[in-house]
Amino acid sequence: MTNTGSVLGRPVDRVDGPIKVAGRARYAIDVTLPNMVYGALVQSTIAAGRISRIDAARALSAPGVLTVISHDNAPRLEAGPMSVLGPPPPPPFQDDRVLHHGQHVAFVVAETPLQAAAAARLVEIEYEISDAVVTLEDPRATVEPNPFVPDQNRGDVARGLQHADVAVDVTYRTAPETHNPIGLFATVAAWDDDALTVYDTTQFPTNIQAVLAAAFGVPSDQVRVLAPYIGGAFGSGLRFWPHVTLTALGARMVGRPVKLVLTRGQMFTSIGYRPPTVQRVKLGAARDGALVAVDHESLEPLPKEDFFAEPVTASTAKLYACPNVSVRDRQARLNVAVPSWMRAPGEAQGAVGLECALDELAYELHLDPIELRLRNFAHTHPGNGLPWSTNALRECYEEGARRFGWSRRSFEPRSMRQGSQLVGLGMATGSLPYYQMPCEVRASIDRTGQAYVGSAGTDIGPGTYTIMAQVAADVLGLPMDAIRVELGDTRTPPAPQQGGSGLAAALSSATFLACRELLQTVLNAASADSRSPLCETTAAGRQPRAYSPDDVRASNGHIALAHDGTRHDTYVEILQRSGRPAFVALGKSAPQQDSNTADGVFSAKFAEVHVDPDLGRIRVTRILSVIDAGRILNPKTATSQIVGAAVGGIGMALLEETLSDPGTGRIANATFGDYLIAVNADVPDVDVLFVGQPDPANPLGVKGVGEIGLVGIAPAIANAVFHATGRRIRSVPITLDQLL
């Protein structure tokens, strides 16, 4: 099928932009229902122990209070099912135990938000306090393998390190970070007999539906979850969170809709965070720079009784050609809140350890950091020997070095200056796995010539609404303004989570297939209609000839035969003659696994920093991200994703750190005044370059761009700081006091 007006690959403006800037996009926090009341959370002030007494009398007698729910009066709730992200958290309020500071221990429902918040402060709680284990350094912490991220080993690492000409053995640390979207998370729940409707800030509506259905013992089709607009989330909306259950429970107990809006402080304790890591990296190389051994072990926290898994060391096993490799992810059970996946989870932290260690190795070898990586480029997957489906990492290095002006970089640290400022140039590699989950999209077209595509997936900002409209317009040959896109409603076909840079591939593929099927349905109707110019009988004159989408050209609502453009029809006329109000089709996409190839998303990151030698102040002056992410459906929204990820990388490298009291686990900087986030003054112009080819893993050749833009930014900046100052800082964020 040829579409002469293709919009795929063009920098199309966001279709949801106008309603957002006009304030018409309805987020969960904007939802107001008739007779609605409000919830407020009461959180634990200890990190470990038991609740010995809850006295809610004062709260219950406060103005407007309808109920106070705790483990004393909460009903038995069932655990939700396993999802692709793992098991959900245990249902709240099922016993008296406290496992971390900030755990929800009571829920107040009142007529107004202020009444609920005031009453929450009146709930009196007494505890039996136990010793808490809240830091990775605590020797009492139980360390165990990550059961969802298996160890990977090949060759003999110990022997390789022993016989290496040059070796480094270094430990790097990454700090905990909090997602901190500007918009506060909110949930609104309303019951109608046994039917539950929930508006939530979530990246995974179908998972919210499944967990709530299990918790309250109702069929899943009796639970409707709506999340058409999310705002920022960065992974904090991926998991199911206990406050959603509490909002639905409160609504059921008072018989009225309940709305809960988390406070900024609760955003630090209730929706996860990027966990800290301690990483030991051992590298061994021959004198010519060829890696002979790589050993990478990571340690991160795990809550006492919950699940969390991310692959900190996984990319290390596949990124470079090396015969002897061992990677291991370890977790320490602590009295901490459950972490969550934060943009480029695992890979972002793992890149700090690996890519900074490689920079150290390059200096030990007196070899250019890019040359070291080129000499160890993996032409095939180093673990299984399979060829890459696509891999333009060499092009990322070479085009990036040319565009960034890397050849002007002198090798020795502290050798480049601009005025009084020390100048440093650094680089790092970024890698992510490619993945695609099953996904469904419903497509239709009505008698006005307006098309519709809908799915339960969400859009947290990467431009999902827009690329769905682009794909539909491209296949159907319609203008963009003739496409209506619906997202974030579990009454539409199911979709996976928006996270891990996988939804673009899944949803665009399903949209493509749904619209192809819709076009086929239209062609079938036209072929069977003798009044249609597209109807053509066979030589026998009995059976109409069937056309496929590949046999026609669709443009501006017209469908013409590819071999005879004079024979054409329109969607509107075909529908009117059929007597039907609309044609409808369903598209289902699934991973197209090729056991004969390996896949991945790759990038090279380049950073320039200026450092004040007297004050230690670091300023990032240039960033270049060169990305191999397959086919780029919309360069404008894709570039925006890479730029946004670079901002997050600057924060990771220089600013962001969630600080907790080492004795109690209480977060000490849970405000925007104390938690430092990169702002305009911290961010230079970010240059973005896309390279590579479409990947055959899905019909449109998409790999995904949302997270690869962050991986490698922090180590590139850290390596640039070393080049500028000669000081190797082995923890991020790098702060000025570390350089003084």
Q: What is the DSSP string of 195-207?
A: EEEEEE--S-HHH
Contacts of 680 (CB under 8 A, 6+ apart): none
Out of 297, 355, 657, 707, which one is annotated catalytic? 707
Closest-CA residue to 117 (of 197, 189, 59):
59
- The whole-angstrom separation of Cα 257 and Cα 188 is 7
- Cβ of 380: how many Cβ atoms within 10 Å? 14
In the beta sheet, which residues pair with residue 652?
none
- The whole-angstrom separation of Cα 490 and Cα 455 is 8
Helix (H) or strand (E) holding 51: strand 49-55
- Cβ of 578: how many Cβ atoms within 10 Å? 17
DSSP at 507: H
Q: Which residue is associated with the tokens 């307006």? A: 450
- Let me know if 399 is a catalytic residue: no
Residue 444: C-alpha distances to residues 466, 485, 589, 594 (Å): 17, 11, 17, 32
- The whole-angstrom separation of Cα 302 and Cα 5 is 52
Pairing relationship of beta strands 558-561 and 564-570 according to DSSP bridges: antiparallel
**Opening angle at CA 483, ends 481 and 486, nearest 5:** 125
Pairing relationship of beta strands 186-192 and 142-145 according to DSSP bridges: unpaired
**Opening angle at CA 706, ends 703 and 708, nearest 5:** 75
- The whole-angstrom separation of Cα 495 and Cα 476 is 22
- Cβ of 154: how many Cβ atoms within 10 Å? 16
- Residues with catalytic function: 707
